[in-house]
Amino acid sequence: MNSHLLTLQPACFWKHFAKLLEIPHETGHEQALAEYVIQVAKQNSLSAIKDELHNVIVYKPGNPNRSTVILQSHLDMVCEKTPNSQHDFQADPIATQINGDWLETNGTTLGADNGFGVALMLALLEEQNQNWGSLELLFTTQEETTMAGAKAVDPTWLSGNYLINLDGARLNRITIGSAGAQDVDLLLPIQRTQPPQQAWQLEIKGLQGGHSGVDIHRPRANAIKLITEILLPVCEKINLVDLAGGNAHNAIPNQATAIFGWVEANSANQAKLQSLIDQTLKTWQKREPNLVIELNQTSDARPALSIESQNNLLSLLSELPHGVLTQHPKLPKTVMTSNNLA
Ligand SMILES: [Zn+2]
């Protein structure tokens, strides 16, 4: 399926990356990939250990007069796909094609984060003509969610003087230092009344989205914010049934859907909503050229939220901050604090 990768150089790297694409490795399901790492280590007569969380360490002895270096990458990947993709991240290999200088997938994430780091370390593990110091090759798990893998690594596994993490986002740059992150889960109790006579679906899609740790400063729209801005001004004219958006805590939401009914389905109310949709499209058309907002009748028998619950929800989503909160006082164009509403 990905045999075109085997023609690329350096071959010692691409053969492992091609193999990675065949082994599903969503966060929390890293066992199979961890076993592949162990297998490669064994084939090269290197000692390796795997723990309960499927973290793996491989020891590659080197020149004793040089420093021991720890290399780290993470085995798990973010699994995202386009809404019409049939891909099963638990079972299917990720199909790719080469387009110019780019390696592309068919509507799924590629897993270059951090498959490139993993494949690079496997290539180094097999390197024969080295005069480096010893390498301690550390592969951790659940990086994309809780860092549970890295947190549980047995410190006695490591003796190296230096650690280089291969999970960077930019070519030809070394990052010194790191940022912290915190998840806040909000739970808003709601009450429901009765189903609307006719349900409508408002859908926002086609936004660029992106990684909240990398793209938060870019002029991109958050689908949850957009749908809230459209609905809030007509809050008293609708009965909201459902509001959903986003896929992951670290992905900027690129789609959102609201189900609602009209309190009074008159043309004035509908025109007001349409003007809010048109205004949003106009505001974002340059920065989000693929933005689509669709309004269609739908069948949904669920009861609507009470007026109070609906007001609470839309007000909360409107008030919650999204995007850059503060810039670094000294370093230009450097984000200090940001929030991803997702
Ligand atoms: Zn990563």
Summarised one tens digit per residue, pLDDT across range 42-95 is 999 999 999 999 999 999 999 999 999 999 999 999 999 998 999 999 999 999
Ligand 1 centroid to Cα of residue 114, in Å, is 5
Q: What is the mean pLDDT of residues 28-41?
A: 98
Exactly one of 76, 113, 136, 288 is catalytic; which is it?
76
Cα(201)–Cα(203) distance, rounded to whole angstroms?
6
> Does 222 fall in a domain?
yes
pLDDT at residue 129 is higher than 90: no
Ligand 1 centroid to Cα of residue 62, in Å, is 27
21-57 as b/e, with b when 16 or more CB fall inside 10 Å? bebbbebbbbeebbebbbebbeeeebebebbebbbbb
Instruction: Please indicate, yes or no, whether residues 65 and 155 belong to a single structural domain of this protein.
Output: yes
Active site residue 319: no
Q: What is the mean pLDDT of residues 318-333?
A: 94
Q: Model confidence at 333, in pLDDT bands (50, 70, 90)?
A: confident
> Does 175 fall in a domain?
no
Q: Using the 8-state DSSP alphabet, how is residue 93 labeled?
A: P
Per the CB < 8 A criterion, the answer to whether 291 and 285 are in contact is yes
Note the pLDDT of residue 269: 95
Number of domains present in the structure of the chain: 2
Instruction: Please indicate, yes or no, whether residues 226 and 286 belong to a single structural domain of this protein.
Output: yes
Active site residue 167: no
Q: Which residues contact 325 (CB under 8 A, 6 or more apart)?
A: 336, 337, 338, 339
Instruction: Please indicate, yes or no, whether residues 245 and 111 belong to a single structural domain of this protein.
Output: no
pLDDT tens per residue, range 207-266: 999 999 889 999 999 999 999 999 999 999 999 999 999 989 999 999 999 999 999 999
Residue of 32 and 171 predicted with greater confidence: 32
Q: What is the ipTM of this complex?
A: 0.97
> Does 183 fall in a domain?
no
Q: Helices 223-231 & 267-284, crossing angle to 10 degrees?
A: 150
> Does 64 fall in a domain?
yes
Ligand 1 centroid to Cα of residue 167, in Å, is 5
Note the pLDDT of residue 212: 93
Ligand 1 centroid to Cα of residue 255, in Å, is 23
Ligand 1 centroid to Cα of residue 71, in Å, is 14
Domain CATH code at residue 7: 3.40.630.10
Ligand 1 centroid to Cα of residue 143, in Å, is 7
Instruction: Please indicate, yes or no, whether residues 136 and 235 belong to a single structural domain of this protein.
Output: no
| Residue ranges making up the domain that contains 41 | 3-165
Instruction: Please indicate, yes or no, whether residues 154 and 278 belong to a single structural domain of this protein.
Output: no
Note the pLDDT of residue 316: 98
Ligand 1 centroid to Cα of residue 274, in Å, is 41
Note the pLDDT of residue 41: 98
Average pLDDT of the chain is 95
Instruction: Please indicate, yes or no, whether residues 150 and 86 belong to a single structural domain of this protein.
Output: yes
Instruction: Please indicate, yes or no, whether residues 155 and 258 belong to a single structural domain of this protein.
Output: no
Q: Model confidence at 168, in pLDDT bands (50, 70, 90)?
A: confident
pLDDT at residue 176 is higher than 80: no
Instruction: Please indicate, yes or no, whether residues 135 and 204 belong to a single structural domain of this protein.
Output: no
Instruction: Please indicate, yes or no, whether residues 115 and 203 belong to a single structural domain of this protein.
Output: no
Exactly one of 113, 136, 143, 144 is catalytic; which is it?
143
Instruction: Please indicate, yes or no, whether residues 223 and 161 belong to a single structural domain of this protein.
Output: no
Instruction: Please indicate, yes or no, whether residues 247 and 149 belong to a single structural domain of this protein.
Output: no
Ligand 1 centroid to Cα of residue 78, in Å, is 8
> Does 186 fall in a domain?
no
> Does 49 fall in a domain?
yes
Note the pLDDT of residue 174: 84
Instruction: Please indicate, yes or no, whether residues 111 and 237 belong to a single structural domain of this protein.
Output: no
Assigned token pair, 207: 């936004």
